[in-house]
Structure 1
Amino acid sequence: MDFFVGSYATSPAWETWDPEAEQAYFAKLKTFTHLQGLEHPFTGTLHPHDDDWFMANVSAKWQFVFTCVPGTMGALGKNPHFGIASDDEAGRQEALVFMQKACDAIGKLNRGLGRKAVKAIEVQTAPDRSKASGSARSLKASLETMLSWDWHGADIVIEHCDALVPEHDHAKGFLSLDDEITVLKELNASKDANLGILINWGRSAIETLSTDGVLTHIEQVKQQGLFKGLMFSGVTDQSSPYGIWKDTHMPAAKSPNVAFGAEHSLLTEQEIHRSLAACGHALTQDSIVGIKLGIRPKDAPLEPRVGYNQSALAMIERFFN
Structure 2
Amino acid sequence: MTSIVYSAYNAAPMGLSKDTEGEDLWYKALRAEHRIGGLELPALPGGLHPQGLHRLAHLLDPRWSNTVSAMPLTLVASKSDPAYGLASADPAGRQHALEDIDSIRQEALRLQALLGEASVRAFAIQSAPRADRSNPDAFTESLRTITSWDWGRIELLVEHSDALIAGQVPQKGYLSLQEEMSAVRSVTNSGSPRVRHLLNWGRSAIEGRSAATPGEHIDTLGEALGAFAFSGAGPAATNRSRAWEDAHLGLAIDEPESLLISDELRAVVAKLPDALAYLGIKAGAPAGSHGLDRLQLGLSMLAVLADPATAVDL
Q: Tell me which interval the TM-score lies in, with the shorter structure as reference length.
A: over 0.9
For residues 217-237 of structure 1, give each alpha carbon's deviation from its aligned partner in whole angstroms, at most 9, with x where no partner exists: 011011xx3110110111121
Q: How does 1:48-197 map to 2 (within 5 A)?
A: 48-51=49-52, 52-130=54-132, 133-197=133-197
1:106·1:151 contact (CA, 8 Å) conserved in 2? no
Supply the distance in 2 between the matched residues of 1:14 and 1:308 (Cα, whole angstroms). Answer: 20
Q: Per the alignment, do residues 271 and 15 of structure 1 end up closer, same or farther by CA in structure 2, a change over 3 Å counting? A: same
- Cα deviation, residue 167, structure 1: 3.3
- Tell me the equivalent position of 2:302: 313
**What residue identity is the alignment partner of 1:290?**
G
From 228, 231, 242, the equivalent of 1:230 is: 228
> Is structure 2 residue 257 aligned with structure 1 residue 267?
no
Residues of 1 paired with 2:92 and 2:60: CA distance? 36
Unaligned runs of 5+ in 1: 255-260
Taking the aligned partners of 2:191 and 2:104, their CA distance within structure 1 comes to 22
Alignment of 1:6 with 2:7, yes or no, is yes
| CA distance 1:16–1:244, shift in 2 (3 Å) | farther
CA contact (8 A) 1:28 1:306 kept: no
After superposition, give the CA deviation of every residue in 1:245-298 in whole Å (9 maximum; x if it has no partner): 0011111121xxxxxx1231111111111221222xx133x432010111132x
Q: Which residue of 2 aligns with 1:301?
A: 290
How far did 1:47 drift?
2.7
- Matched residue, 1:288: 278
Does the alignment pair 1:248 with 2:247? Answer: yes
Percent of aligned pairs with the same amino acid: 28
Q: State the alpha-carbon separation in 1 of the partners of residues 48 and 104 from structure 2.
A: 11
Q: Structure 1 residues 64 and 46, CA, compared in 2 at 3 Å: closer, same or farther?
A: farther
Q: How many Å separate the matches in 2 of 1:47 and 1:237?
A: 33
TM-score by length of 1: 0.91
Deviation at 1:243, TM superposition (A): 1.6
SS in 2 for 1:228: strand
2: distance between equivalents of 1:121 and 1:245?
26
Aligned length, in residue pairs: 307
Tell whether the 8 Å contact from 1:29 to 1:306 is kept in structure 2 after alignment. no
How many angstroms apart in 1 are the aligned matches of 2:192 and 2:308?
34
The one-letter code matched in structure 2 to 1:271 is: E
- Structure 2's unaligned 5+ residue stretches are none
User: Cα RMSD over matched residues?
Assistant: 1.8
Distance 1:19 1:174, change over 3 A: same
One-letter amino acid matched to 2:161: C
Cα distance, 1:5 vs. partner? 0.1
Distance 2:190 2:152 in 1: 22
Normalised TM-score (structure 2): 0.93
User: 2:218 matched to which residue of 1?
Assistant: 218
Partners of 1:91 and 1:46 in 2: CA distance: 19
Q: Could you tell me whether the CA contact under 8 Å between 2:206 and 2:234 is conserved in 1?
A: no
